[in-house]
Amino acid sequence: MTFPIVEKETLNEGTVLLRVKAPRIAAHAQAGQFVVLRIREKGERIPLTLADWDEETITLVFQPVGKTTQDLAKMLPGGSIRDVLGPLGNPAEISKVGTVVLVGGGLGIAPLFPQARAFKEAGNRVVCVIGVRTKGLLFWEDRFKGYAELVVCTEDGSHGMKGLVTDGLKRVMRERKVDRVVAIGPPVMMKFVSLATREAMIPTVVSINSIMVDGIGMCGGCRVPLTTKEIRFSCADGPEFDGHIVDWDALLVRNRMYEDEEKACRCT
């Protein structure tokens, strides 16, 4: 069984969207979950968080930075992906809690969207703080407007407020009572979001996409160290964790384990 590509879109200079026909996965997909795909028989297995879905298809948004994602970005509608496994991981805990602030940085904007929709449909007041380096890297701004109040941050001030997503989050926290924060993006971003909300004692969930191989808890590659001295696995126990007990320094070191190999696979 293969998975046909039915749509491809370049969202910005470094971000690609693929819509893939996968009705059985789409039928069970929930916010926060991911898939593991392989584009050829002897290819690398890579995890991608679900950015959206409908009755027949799933939407994947990614950046072509490694060998497999570079090859994936070259694929076109009419082609197909050899294997897609999912939905994997525990779904996000969606409930009516009051005011929920969703924070997305860079590529993390895409998987934030299903959560915005789910929290809104659960009866919450939803605020999305999304951030990129510059306006040209922004995407899906219009898509969020139907489900959330939107705060856009750019580091260079080319659109929205000038600053990091943490600056946008702190502004929202000053203006209203926040009952929960969800952060998806680079680990260093999620670290500083968690530090800001810990001081304010706001429950905070982070989505951790660690180094991963099998996606079902067998290989141990996606270990997430906690400050409680426990070890969890992103694929089986996550991908969402309490941001206040993640050992961010240890996680950041672990995520750099294959930095040299990753650089060697990037386009030059």
CATH of the domain at 11: 2.40.30.10
Q: Is the pLDDT of residue 125 over 90?
A: yes
Query: Which tokens hold the place of 72?
Result: 């994936």
Judge if 117 and 187 occupy the same domain.
Answer: yes
Q: How far apart are CA 217 and CA 195, in angstroms?
A: 28
Give me the number of domains the chain comprises: 3
Judge if 203 and 239 occupy the same domain.
Answer: no
pTM: 0.91
Interval 34-61: pLDDT, tens: 999 999 988 888 999 999 999 999 999 9
Judge if 161 and 186 occupy the same domain.
Answer: yes
Whether the ω angle into residue 114 lies within 30 degrees of 0, i.e. cis, is no
Q: Any idea which residue has 């076109």 for tokens? A: 76
- Rounded to the nearest integer, the mean pLDDT of the chain is 92
Q: Which domain holds residue 215?
A: 210-268
174-196 average pLDDT score:
96
Q: Which of 88, 106, 134 is the last residue of a domain?
A: 88
Judge if 25 and 132 occupy the same domain.
Answer: no
Give the per-residue pLDDT at 118.
97
Among 174, 4, 144, which residue's Cα sits nearest to residue 77? Answer: 4
Query: Which tokens hold the place of 139?
Result: 């995407």
Q: Which of 55, 88, 121 is the last residue of a domain?
A: 88
131-146 average pLDDT score:
94
Judge if 64 and 107 occupy the same domain.
Answer: no
Interval 3-21: pLDDT, tens: 999 999 999 988 999 999 9
Q: Which of 88, 115, 131 is the last residue of a domain?
A: 88
Q: Give the long-range contacts of residues 19-23, CB within 8 A, separation 24 or more.
A: 19/57, 19/58, 19/59, 19/60, 20/57, 20/58, 20/59, 20/60, 20/81, 20/84, 21/56, 21/57, 22/56, 22/57, 22/58, 22/84, 22/86, 23/55, 23/56, 23/57
Instruction: Count CA atoms within 13 Å of residue 3 on its CB side.
Output: 29
Give the pLDDT band (50/70/90) at residue 268. Answer: very low
Interval 77-86: pLDDT, tens: 999 999 999 9
User: Sign of the CA dihedral 243, 248, 254, 260?
Assistant: positive
CA 249 to chain centre: 20
Contact of 103 with 116, CB cutoff 8 Å: no
Q: How far apart are CA 129 and CA 101, in angstroms?
A: 7
Give the per-residue pLDDT at 135.
96
Within 10 angstroms of residue 45's Cβ, the number of other Cβ atoms is 16
Helix and strand numbers, DSSP H then E, in the chain? 9, 16
